[in-house]
Amino acid sequence: MSSIDHAALVAAVASLPERFRGPGGAVGVMKDGEVIVREAWGYADPDTGLEMTPSRLMPICSISKQMTCGVLLDLVGDPSALDDRLGSFLPNIEGRRPTIRELCDNRSGLRDYWALTVLHGAHHEGAFRRDDARPLFARMKTTHFEPGSQYSYSNGNFRILSDLLEERSGKSLAELYRHHIFGPAGMRDARLAADTAAPLNGTIGHEGNPTVGWFPATNRIVWTGDAGVAATLDDMLAWERFIDRTRNDTDGLYNRLSQPKAFSDGRAARYGMGLAHDRIEDVAITGHGGALRGFRIRRLHAAAERLSVVIMFNHEADAHAAALFVMRAALGRPAPARSAAPVDQSWTGRYLEASSGLSLDITVHGSAILANLGGGAEVLSVGDGGAASSSVMSLSRQGNDLWLERQGDNLRGLATQLEGDVVKDIEGRYWSAETESVLEIKAAGKAFAGHFDGFLGRGPMHQLRPFAGDVWRLSTPRSMDAPSPGDWTVQVRRSAAGIVEGLTVGCWLARNVAFARVA
């Protein structure tokens, strides 16, 4: 355990409002069980002039997952005790159903249910009721990989888990959180705030950016154990204090939550029990982020250093980057400088990784490679051995193709370079037996777009852009949940005669959904 760099920490905290611009925010830092930073700035609601303070409630969103898993360990103990109840939620899954432990570790193979709302016809500003979740799960027929073999973020894992905990205990999730988490941790104002349309204590989330300005976000979804907790900065610091207070108890809740995890092939996993495991050089950290339209939250905990950082924004700046920036400052380890050597433009290309069904777009910008696997761009640097890598992805050349590895996801595969232009003959209607929904693609002049019809309604038109070969990308920049699924890879399937027979649609959170052409 080391001391911290107080001067660097003070400077980092002071720079947050300008580095991560938006209506308001809050930051907390705890060292050796004591709060050493507790600050807020800006406005919880600029329209009314309500200032942000450490006592303003905000949705902590997916940080709730570790607390849901904490309830499970405290209430039930062995997660496998609930395995036999999963059949009632996933009655139509073919092959092996995932286990409760695989749900907790995001190794279930279940496609994310918020991403699937797009394929079920939801509008991004529509309503998603509590009663809509179970019919969506019941429609699931396949997993997008063998349970246990890979990591894929799936909010539905924790939604199912919280429903099972209510069923097992006969108590509401709100009661379970109060008894097992909020009470023991001293989180006085924390609560289950499942309905995202309901006001908190004046804090308004904002979409937008410094260029176009900020405007209040509209949310109309109901979530529970996946992301339903609201808390103040003071509550989150109480959670960090509880973690530190129980650090030497081998049976302590956070120690049990943060035990090392592994995939079914024995390789180490970087996620388990609602916690992401990462490193800042030689310092191991656990934590999680949270996102709802208009809010971004992040907490990081370095157990060996007894150091925690919490960032809370009522806007959509990068809270993860902010938390890393503050923690690195406290540790006296600023982010290492990237190589300034320009990268060969021959890396540029468009690829398809067959097992995940995801398209990979590679562009070069000076000394950096930007790799977009259907979502946000990952920045990679080329090392001495000629491979490109970041903390989550590595790429190495194999002729014209790329060998792709994402160690944290346990995904390894060949990304084949795509050649040629797409053929623009995809207009029509397509049916998916997996989602029991329709995709209709239309041309408007020379532009293409598609919308989904399903049990959640008729969705908006989503732009379809040619990618390469027989691959398109369908864009969903806004959705019910946040962040949105981004770009969906759309692979065209053809008969031997070259006639379009169907499509395979997938994004990082929901891969390889088959649609057959019906008209």
Contact (Cβ atoms closer than 8 angstroms) between residue 356 and residue 506:
yes
Tokens (6 digits) for 31: 């060292």
Catalytic annotation present for 65 = yes
Enter the DSSP assignment of 182: I
Tokens (6 digits) for 70: 């904490």
Tokens (6 digits) for 519: 């008209």
Task: Work out the end-to-end distance of the chain between its first and last CA atoms, rounded to an integer number of angstroms.
Answer: 66
Strand order, beta sheet including 295-302: 50-51, 34-45, 24-31, 307-313, 295-302, 283-292, 275-280, 271-272
Contact (Cβ atoms closer than 8 angstroms) between residue 24 and residue 52:
yes
Q: What is the greatest pairwise CA distance in the chain?
A: 70
Half-sphere exposure of 54 (CA within 13 A, CB side): 16
Whole-angstrom distance, CA of residue 111 vs CA of residue 510: 5
Contact (Cβ atoms closer than 8 angstroms) between residue 44 and residue 26:
no
Tokens (6 digits) for 164: 């099972």
SS3 266: coil
Contact (Cβ atoms closer than 8 angstroms) between residue 485 and residue 510:
yes
Instruction: Single out the catalytic residue among 2, 3, 15, 62.
Output: 62
Instruction: Single out the catalytic residue among 65, 258, 359, 484.
Output: 65
Alpha carbon of 500 to those of 4, 186, 487, 519: distances in Å?
61, 60, 21, 11
**DSSP assignment of 370-389:** EEESSSSEEEEEE-TTS-EE
Burial class of residue 51 in the structure, from the number of CB atoms within 10 Å of its CB (0-12 exposed, 13-18 middle, 19+ buried): middle
Enter the DSSP assignment of 288: E
Whole-angstrom distance, CA of residue 207 vs CA of residue 495: 44
Alpha carbon of 359 to those of 242, 352, 438: distances in Å?
43, 4, 22
Burial class of residue 98 in the structure, from the number of CB atoms within 10 Å of its CB (0-12 exposed, 13-18 middle, 19+ buried): buried
Contact (Cβ atoms closer than 8 angstroms) between residue 9 and residue 326:
yes
Tokens (6 digits) for 185: 């941790």
Whole-angstrom distance, CA of residue 55 vs CA of residue 188: 10
Show which residues are catalytic.
62, 65
